[in-house]
Amino acid sequence: MTALEIVTYPDIFLRQTTKPVENIDGTIQDIIKNMSTIMYEAPGVGLAAIQVGCDKSIIVYDIMPGNEKRSLQVLVNPRVIEREGNITSEKEGCLSVPDFRSDVKRAESVLVEGLDRDGNPLRIEAEGYLSIVLQHEIDHLNGVLFIDHVRSLKKDLYTRRVKKQLKKKGRKH
């Protein structure tokens, strides 16, 4: 697994439902390592495996990526178990949707279950910003991008622009 490029919208690869990890082996640890490198280099607060070309259910995040002391969090096979309340995620963005930001309606708090990178069960109660990051990354595992939650002229113009750029490059999707 050497892909270091981020898959971007509207690539249909991002639209699939990812597969659960059954065995957290060396290959999976390598993918996690790659994801973390890409996330900190970008820099971004979170990344899903599907964004680097891997169809497994893995996310990494660090809500303070600029901090000297890094706090990398890894979640394998995460699921949102409960959602509560409403919050506006301001100017949300995504490494797979370059040059576009928008407000998004999200749940204020979530309960997430998954495994850590050693396979131990994790249960995370998150609210506010962390809750938003978890919802965004877990959406990726279901083929959902944050712009899917957005209805605006700005988004339509953005979509038209990236499709035009792709056509120029002669790539087919």
**Binding stretches for Ni ion (CB under 5 A):** 94
How many residues are there in the chain? 173
Give the separation between CA 57 and CA 24, rounded to whole angstroms: 11
Question: Quick one: 21 or 94, whose CB is closer to Ni ion?
Answer: 94
Q: Are 143 and 14 in contact (CB under 8 A)?
A: yes
- Which residue in the shown chain puts its C-beta closest to Ni ion? 94
Nearer to Ni ion, 78 or 167 (CB): 78
The helix (H) or strand (E) run that includes residue 139 is helix 128-141
- Interatomic CA distance for residues 167 and 169, integer angstroms: 5
Task: Determine whether 108 is an active site residue.
Answer: no
Least gap, CB of 136 to Ni ion (angstroms): 5
**Shortest spacing between CB 142 and Ni ion, in angstroms:** 12
Least CB distance from residue 140 to Ni ion, whole Å?
A: 6
Annotated catalytic sites, by residue?
137
